[in-house]
Structure 1
């Protein structure tokens, strides 16, 4: 699990370095990263820093047992929707 300090450092990297971090750490290619980034943007995550934080949280959520995250056909969207619902449920429970 990443510390808050490490996350703060990561989210402020230049775009290319942040994408490379995601590629190296979570083994997702740039195309998958772009789909994920655009999906969160479409969910009104307009602020880049907030979106990068949730992208890291998404990858961490998926990356529990394995280093490489694999998506099958339509898998990215399904995983994003599951994660989004999980986050909403977690916020409701903690309210």
Structure 2
């Protein structure tokens, strides 16, 4: 299957097969499969059981990392970044 997903409209991203959604994340943000799996699992365990909601949040998280120029993770770095992202998101909702 061709990896060119530029013809896929944004809302349809959430309905892609898992491999294609990962490819999109990898192409746009350069994350590897292991990091993607940690992120996906963490959001699932933290209340994002609906796949569309979780994938939308994953894209927002990866955009957040890109905006803050977070490109590498040390030990516990993915979890710390996820917690920072949710805290930042909650602040925006309250403020």
Give the shorter-chain TM-score range.
0.7 to 0.9
Greater relative contact order, per chain length (Cα 8 Å cut-off, separation 6+): 1
Unaligned runs of 5+ in 1: none
Would you say how many aligned residue pairs link Structure 1 and Structure 2?
88
Query: Which runs of structure 1 show a deviation greater than 3 angstroms over 4 or more consecutive aligned residues?
Result: none
Map 1:9-88; keep pairs closer than 5 Å: 9-64=12-67, 66=69, 69-88=71-90
TM-score scaled by length of structure 1: 0.84
Q: What CA RMSD, in Å, does the superposition of the two structures yield over aligned residues?
A: 1.8
Unaligned runs of 5+ in 2: 1-7
